[in-house]
A and B are shown apart, each in its own frame.
Chain A
Amino acid sequence: MKKLTTGVLALVLSSSLVVVNAQEMKKDTLRTQNIEEIVVTGALGIKKKQDAITGSTAIVKTEEITKAGNPNAVQALTGKVSGLQINVPNSTVNSQATINLRGQRSITGDNGALVVIDGAPSTASILQQLPPEVIESINIFKGQQGSALYGERGANGVIVVSTKKGSKSSKIQFTLTAGVDASFVYKLPIIQQKYGSGYPGSTFSPGPGEIGGTNWVPYENTSWGPLFSDPAIGGQSLIVGTPDANGQFVMGKYSPRKDNIKDFFKTGFLYQNGLSMNVGGDDAYAFFSINRTQNDFVVDQDRLNRNNILFKAGKKLGNFRLDGTFNLIDQQTSETDSNVYDDLLQTPSNVNIKDFAKPNLEHYFTTFADNPYWTIPNVRYDNKNTTFNGILNAEYTINDHISVSYLGNVLTTSALGESHNNGFKFGKIFVPTGTDYDGTSFLTYGHTSIESNYFKSISKRFNYYGDLMLNFNYPITDDLNLKLNVGNNIQDSNVSTVTVGGTNLQIPNFYHVNNVGSPASYSDLQNTQSRTRSIAGFANLDLAYKNYLFFNSTFRIEKSSVLAVRPTYTDEFNIKSYPYYSFGASFVPTKAFEGLSGGVMNYAKITASYTKVGSTSAIGAYNTDEVTGLIPTGFPLNNSSFLINRTPTNPNIRPEFTNTKEASLQLGFFKDRITVEGAIYRSDVSDLISIASVSNTSGLSTLKDNIGDANNRGFELDLGFTPFKSKDFEWNIRGSYSKYKSEVTQLSGGADEINLLSYSSPAVGIYAKTGDEYPLIKGTKYLRDDQGRIIVGDDGNPLATSNFEVLGKVNPDYILGFSTSIRFKGFKLSGTADYRTGNSFVSFTKRLLGFTGGLEKSADFDRSQGYVIPNSVQNTGTAANPVYVVNTTPVQGSADYAGVADYFTGTGLYNSVGEEFVVDGSAFKIREIALSYTLPRDVLNSTFVNSLTFGVYARNPFAWYAKSNRNFADPETSSNNGAINQRPGQSTGVGGANANGIAFTGQYPTIRTFGFNINATF
């Protein structure tokens, strides 16, 4: 048996970062631990030794999560575990990450891993609110076998989070952590620096008149003006924007400013403070922690405050053991409308946005967009969330072999959301300025007034989860041990949401429903409750032969209320139950054959498993109950009215079943100085559920039903290398490679694809198509000749396909993860990076910049001569016998500036072809760099302080995007959260949970962060 010294980072499990992290706790005596005997907490809290685990797992310990000061434990996992993909689809003060293991299995249902905190199922959102330093470890069960015991919730793997437990020492120990970091916007879209604000054909007086086929216009949001380098205007001091209340103008030099919208963003600050107390004894412990996080975002006034109180205690009384956890999380956020970024992106490069930094809508650089400095104080979304989580775990040991245990969990969340928009009525006539502005107002330029509104939403969630288990542990023979757990589970989830509000505030700044002049129709507001329950019986069997051969089997039979159906609403409900099961085995040859472990190879383990689990996540409460779905617009009017539910569910819908085969191999060489791990898996999904678009002529727009089959397959490879290891110096390097593919294999009803989301300008959509990976980006494509040259029409405009063709896929071909750590005495330096490639996204920022003329591509030629599509041809033959000759006709058939502007701004021209806006999503990102120094013990001997560690760190310090991604968006932010609608009580996404791949303009740019933290125990 190998022993490892403490403080050693060793890659033991599939890419796991087992930090046997006891170094600071005891004196300098080296503790030892058999790494294969590390006890891993799995599904339903069942603990097993590593050797007995029959699937791929990874363990991430607290230090890995906290070292770079990330306030979000989920984001801190990025790049550290193979097969685990963390995406942060929105960059806000409260960025929420999605957790995905090994790709997609469902089209409509949730593909996020199940999150279990201290034995009770929780949510990714709650995990992200938990202070990382109270987390003891995160065990990631990548395959389905580890989560099979969860039955209908086990299809996406499980992340088992254990919070810190009290120590066994009766001495009270305090730990103080504090961190502060500063964040900055990074990678703003690149805007051309050649042409300034203006538009061909427009006029403004006084002004220099037409220059180079276009006109300078002081109020334009488009950069279709003259060249900055044109001596007739370049460098001159000119009017910018509209006059202020006194008729005074901001004057600015007609020359480009680099990153001119960067000034809009400030430096964000994040403060994290925590104090925890730890005490215990042989038969009891207590742990108490209080944490506060305050995040001031890079957008002024956007702020998050979070307080967390965690209390855990346990006591053993003879054969009875009781553990309790009490967790209270209170979080408040305040944000403005992130569409201010869309307004900002329109800024021509000659404009200094800071010149308009007053909250005045009628004094801005353009008449066509809203001044974001007005939006910040006047459009607010405020949310308060309080989560209470209580877990009681009781166990009674009947004898050496039998115990009975119960875990009961109450999770409640109450959320209060308020939003308001103070509104603004345009119409002030500009005072005499002696310019064309005189006598006009914003309305003259087509600006519409902003309606004031106020909404308030209250929602309350109550979840109960209870497991009753009987546990047996019998040695059947000397060599064969049997463990059996048999149990019952009930789950009850109850959510209700009520929203009030409307438009037209009567008294300014008074945010109350009584002050709403035009209350929204009830049909427009949430007034819903939903309740689901399930009941299950389950069994878990573990057989161990000696210490090297293990077998595990799980079985669960489950009935869920969401599957309750009845022919008509006066009939009885009928609920089908479904069984889910798994088998797995692991074998450790190095223990079976003593001779094997002596040489170069010190450890080997092989596992194989088969799992059948299901998912009902795509079937919501009441989906199968046929009701009227729709209150017609505006009703009730004189009479009430109800219409057909256009988006029903087939009442006989079945869960999605996932059949997974998985195998893994772990090898350790030279006393684990080199570790190699690999896992390969294949999941076949049958009865795939989708909200399929159906012919509207049926009277329905969509039908949720089982529509076909899919599969998901892939593999992971992890390498660990420890070139140096001594008491004072150690260097570890790790790398991982993960690859997966999710593919629809068959669809019913003759369809070969499902549309999840689509747009007409640009003509793109997100699809699942048989034989292709999903999510798939499809759209119209330029017509090309056999040499790949773009074919243009007689007018010089590119021709495009009318059908949607495959343009890319949302998931990367593979993900490479790298991390390294170097320890030298008290110093530790570590870094994490990852690389993703083969993925694409649709950039709406590129479309917007094309329209405004800010796009580099719209300025890399002489606009005054027209724009001939590069590498284009015209057909001089016939359609049947084409003859392609090199094209010289500029777009719109017009060899002048106006033709260029028309082409880039006109509907159905530049902005229509889907292919143009699909951007390579490859990215290499340094996720974290952290350096820490722990004071030697002897320095602290004379103080009350036991240990003291200082750290500096950086998150996302550097990123490299593909060449075609001119910083349009962080590829990760491509999500379905397109319709920015933060009105409380409203869902924000469009296109369903899995319609990823579209990057909208309401997404703030990437943030990079640098910080400092301190950790002391006393």
Chain B
Amino acid sequence: MKKINKIKFILPLIVLGLSASSCNDYLDINENPNSGHIESVTPALILPGTLNELYITQGGESTRPTSMMTFGNVMMNNWSTNIHNYGNVYGAEYSLSGVNNTFYTGIWNRIYLYCANFKLIEDYPNANHEQDNYVAIAKIMKAFYMQYIVDLYGDAPYKEAFLRSDNVTPKYDNDQDIYKALIGELETANSLIDAANTNAIAASTDPVFGGIMSNWKAFSNTVKLRMLLRMSNVTGDMAAYRNQKLATLAGATFINQEVTNKPGYTSGNNDKMNPFVSSYRASATGIAPSNYQLICASEHVANCLNGNLMGSTESYYTKFNGVIDPRRFRLFGSVTYNTVPQVKGIRQGATSGQPGAPTDNKTLSQLAPGNFVGSSVTTNTATVAQIIQFGNSRGGVIMSLAESKLLQAEAAVRYPTIFSNAQSNFTQAIDASGAWLGADAIAMSNYKAQISTKVGLGFIGTDTQKIEAIMTQKWLALINVNPAEMYIEYNRTGFPVTPLAVTSTKPNRPYRLMYPVSEYTANSANVPNLSSDQMFVKNQYTPFWNQN
């Protein structure tokens, strides 16, 4: 028995010895060799990728539910489906019965997921103000994209958002408070830029303005103006707040160029392409994606661009009578139908053979090269190689110059004591749109002359009619550029009047989107419970600026 005891004593020693002596060194191998550590990532490394991912949501279609470009173009009745060859596309958008918690969920999800990276920039150690420029850019861009969250969803998490694993069920904030906080962020950004701390490193990886901070300040002012104009219909406290903040913009500089994301797109492979080009027109090797094949002009947009060729009697068409838009074949391909070259579309919701989808000529107007090459190639027959080359080099539009100008025009119409030059801003916006698409300059001049007498299309008439004209021109300018912005403006102003798809089951378009299913499964304690029907009427769930 002695022996056993001895062994009983030795054994644990062996086991422990093996475990203890070598254990910690032996097991200390859990350092990830496949990814960089989060503490080592500087704002300069975070900014370009964050902006690009957000632009992919705004201007591309990585998957359909993430795409503000597809969402806006279909909801604004710009795009329709080549229903002669494709079944099963955009049914939910047309019928509006599918506007539920699975409808374009990616807009919400991706804006939040990537805006969290702006928070990472803001939180980077910056006691010596080295990162001031990056922090300012992060705040401006966060305000820009988070505005879309409020405009499309109303109340949303903000104060408790972006805390990652520290809070995975953020509370919802009142949408008014988010707007105020975002405007505060823009003002903070401006003061960081104004302070111009000598320690601050240049934002050399900035893919938008190449680190030119005066441009960022002008853009910041423009975003602020956009937010304040969104509140044009509010009353009470918020109206006072709006007026007070509008006053701070008196004499401010607004952005006077296209705000584009240019991280250095190449045709190296599809991922390196401008997402607008690769999603809708051509892969890096020039192969057309199915989107290009299935998307065509809608009958509505075709009729407006063709100068009411259909001879419709609705007032929203008659104002286009005889006004052939010189941008039409820059936006959508030319199809000769009944001997007339025109934009040929499909009525949203029609099936093959039904009215609005005749089968005697199944050729339809697809997305035209002008959207991609702009003024680099002014013929309507740019090659795919040119589309890829120029589409990549000019980058993707975050905010178009035309939008900035039309915001200034509207500000001058609505608040003439603070802002001025409504007419010239309006004209410059049309010029900017024509230039972006590469439309013929002479034709654009003629167009401007032609519309000058058209109420609701040119800058003429009452303020309301001018607002209708501004919105109609904004609609035209934002087709294939930033149509989701137009959808929000349409909800605010009701202009331009836009018919619903023939399969629509609702009397109007939704005033907001449903919170995505991910919120109902993962943040159910906080997400407001609203029904599908509540999105189609104005109520407490409508974004605050549109509740009356």
Residues of B within 8 A of A490 (CB): 18, 26
Complexed CA–CA distance, A629 and B116 (Å): 13
B74 to chain A, nearest CB (A): 12
Residues of A within 8 A of B271 (CB): 520-521, 523-524, 633-634
Q: Is B39 an interface residue (CB 8 A)?
A: yes
Known: A644-B116, A650-B165, A755-B521. A635 touches B48 (CB 8 A): yes
A37 to chain B, nearest CB (A): 27
Would you call B522 and A451 a contact (CB within 8 A)? no
Would you call B49 and A624 a contact (CB within 8 A)? no
Known: A629-B35, A698-B161. A760 touches B7 (CB 8 A): no
Would you call B31 and A643 a contact (CB within 8 A)? no
Known: A518-B270, A531-B29, A634-B271. A907 touches B46 (CB 8 A): no
Q: Is B237 an interface residue (CB 8 A)?
A: no
> What 1/0 mask marks residues of chain A from 171 to 200 whose CB sits below 8 Å from any chain B CB?
000000000000000000000000000011
- A637 interface neighbour in B91, B266, B293, B352, Cβ under 8 Å: B266
- B41 interface neighbour in A488, A628, A633, A908, Cβ under 8 Å: A628
A525 to chain B, nearest CB (A): 11
Residues of B within 8 A of A528 (CB): 34
Would you call A697 and B91 a contact (CB within 8 A)? no
- A561 interface neighbour in B28, B34, B56, B168, Cβ under 8 Å: B28
Q: Is A911 an interface residue (CB 8 A)?
A: yes
> What 1/0 mask marks residues of chain B from 515 to 529 whose CB sits below 8 Å from any chain A CB?
011110111111000
Would you call B35 and A628 a contact (CB within 8 A)? yes
Would you call A622 and B37 a contact (CB within 8 A)? no
Q: Is B268 an interface residue (CB 8 A)?
A: yes
A161 to chain B, nearest CB (A): 28
Would you call A625 and B31 a contact (CB within 8 A)? yes
Known: A643-B49, A693-B518, A905-B88. A634 touches B272 (CB 8 A): yes
- B117 interface neighbour in A530, A644, A703, Cβ under 8 Å: A644
> Which A613-669 residues have C-beta < 8 A from chain B?
621-622, 624-635, 637-646, 648, 650
Residue of A nearest to B41 (CB): A642
Task: Count chain A residues whose beta carbon lies closer than 8 angstroms to a beta carbon of B.
Answer: 116
Would you call B269 and A751 a contact (CB within 8 A)? no
Segment from B279-287, B398-406, B413-421, B422-430 that makes contact with A = B279-287
Segment from A119-127, A532-540, A590-598 that makes contact with B = A532-540
Residues of A within 8 A of B283 (CB): 451, 503
Would you call B287 and A425 a contact (CB within 8 A)? yes
Residues of B within 8 A of A531 (CB): 29
Residue of B nearest to A626 (CB): B38
Residues of B within 8 A of A851 (CB): 87-88
Q: Is A242 an interface residue (CB 8 A)?
A: no
Would you call B53 and A486 a contact (CB within 8 A)? no
Would you call A446 and B290 a contact (CB within 8 A)? yes
> What 1/0 mask marks residues of chain B from 374 to 414 whose CB sits below 8 Å from any chain A CB?
00000000000000000000000000000000000000000
Q: Is A824 an interface residue (CB 8 A)?
A: no
Known: A638-B207, A645-B35, A695-B170. A631 touches B269 (CB 8 A): no
Residues of B within 8 A of A559 (CB): 19, 23, 27
Would you call B525 and A561 a contact (CB within 8 A)? no
Would you call B46 and A569 a contact (CB within 8 A)? no
Q: Is B238 an interface residue (CB 8 A)?
A: no
Complexed CA–CA distance, A639 and B203 (Å): 12
> Which A454-505 residues have C-beta < 8 A from chain B?
468, 470, 472, 474, 486-488, 490, 502-504
Complexed CA–CA distance, A632 and B169 (Å): 25
Would you call B517 and A472 a contact (CB within 8 A)? no
Complexed CA–CA distance, A202 and B52 (Å): 42
Would you call B517 and A908 a contact (CB within 8 A)? no
Residues of B within 8 A of A529 (CB): 33-34
Complexed CA–CA distance, A628 and B82 (Å): 42
Residue of A nearest to B157 (CB): A697
Would you call B272 and A521 a contact (CB within 8 A)? yes
> Which B36-86 residues have C-beta < 8 A from chain A?
36-41, 44-50, 52-53, 56, 62, 65, 82, 84-86
Known: A202-B359, A504-B284, A908-B97. A641 touches B29 (CB 8 A): no
Residues of B within 8 A of A561 (CB): 27-30
Complexed CA–CA distance, A741 and B62 (Å): 40
Q: Is B199 an interface residue (CB 8 A)?
A: no
Residues of B within 8 A of A626 (CB): 37-38
Q: Is B112 an interface residue (CB 8 A)?
A: yes
Complexed CA–CA distance, A664 and B65 (Å): 53
A722 to chain B, nearest CB (A): 46
Would you call A201 and B98 a contact (CB within 8 A)? no
Residues of B within 8 A of A631 (CB): 49
Known: A528-B34, A696-B113, A698-B161. A638 touches B264 (CB 8 A): yes
Complexed CA–CA distance, A245 and B271 (Å): 36
Known: A561-B29, A641-B47, A905-B88. A695 touches B523 (CB 8 A): yes
Would you call A573 and B30 a contact (CB within 8 A)? yes
Would you call A534 and B15 a contact (CB within 8 A)? no
Known: A537-B19, A624-B30, A907-B91. A643 touches B114 (CB 8 A): yes
Known: A561-B30, A695-B523, A696-B113. A487 touches B294 (CB 8 A): no
A814 to chain B, nearest CB (A): 31
- A488 interface neighbour in B18, B52, B273, B290, Cβ under 8 Å: B18
- B285 interface neighbour in A503, A523, A760, A902, Cβ under 8 Å: A503
Known: A633-B56, A643-B114, A650-B165. A537 touches B18 (CB 8 A): yes
Q: Is B109 an interface residue (CB 8 A)?
A: yes
Our count of residue pairs bridging A and B at CB distance below 8 angstroms stands at 347
Task: Count chain B residues whose beta carbon lies closer than 8 angstroms to a beta carbon of A.
Answer: 119
Known: A637-B264, A701-B113, A802-B532. A202 touches B353 (CB 8 A): yes
- A642 interface neighbour in B26, B36, B275, Cβ under 8 Å: B36
Residues of A within 8 A of B49 (CB): 630-633, 635, 641-643
Residues of A within 8 A of B109 (CB): 696, 701
> What 1/0 mask marks residues of chain A from 738 to 782 whose CB sits below 8 Å from any chain B CB?
000000000001110101001010010000000000000000000
Residues of A within 8 A of B162 (CB): 697-699
Complexed CA–CA distance, A898 and B35 (Å): 55
Residues of B within 8 A of A313 (CB): none
Q: Is A251 an interface residue (CB 8 A)?
A: no
Known: A472-B4, A518-B270, A693-B518. A907 touches B88 (CB 8 A): yes
> What 1/0 mask marks residues of chain B from 272 to 307 whose CB sits below 8 Å from any chain A CB?
110100000001110111101110000000000000
A480 to chain B, nearest CB (A): 14
Would you call B7 and A470 a contact (CB within 8 A)? yes
Q: Is A843 an interface residue (CB 8 A)?
A: no
Would you call A451 and B48 a contact (CB within 8 A)? no
Q: Is B32 an interface residue (CB 8 A)?
A: yes
Would you call A695 and B284 a contact (CB within 8 A)? no
Complexed CA–CA distance, A650 and B359 (Å): 59
Would you call B293 and A443 a contact (CB within 8 A)? yes
Known: A533-B29, A559-B23. A699 touches B269 (CB 8 A): no
Complexed CA–CA distance, A902 and B82 (Å): 15
Complexed CA–CA distance, A763 and B92 (Å): 13
Complexed CA–CA distance, A521 and B521 (Å): 34
A403 to chain B, nearest CB (A): 12
B510 to chain A, nearest CB (A): 14
B1 to chain A, nearest CB (A): 9
Residues of A within 8 A of B266 (CB): 637
Residues of B within 8 A of A632 (CB): 48-50, 52-53
Q: Which of A443, A451, A795 has the most CB of B within 10 A?
A: A451
A573 to chain B, nearest CB (A): 5
Q: Is A700 an interface residue (CB 8 A)?
A: yes
What are 22 residue pairs bridging A and B, where the CB atoms are less than 8 Å apart in the complex?
Answer: A203-B359, A443-B288, A446-B85, A472-B7, A488-B14, A503-B284, A519-B269, A529-B33, A532-B29, A559-B27, A572-B28, A573-B27, A575-B24, A638-B205, A642-B49, A643-B114, A644-B116, A644-B120, A695-B157, A696-B516, A700-B165, A905-B87
Top 9 closest A-B pairs, CB basis?
A699-B116, A907-B91, A632-B49, A201-B353, A641-B49, A638-B264, A446-B85, A622-B32, A695-B523
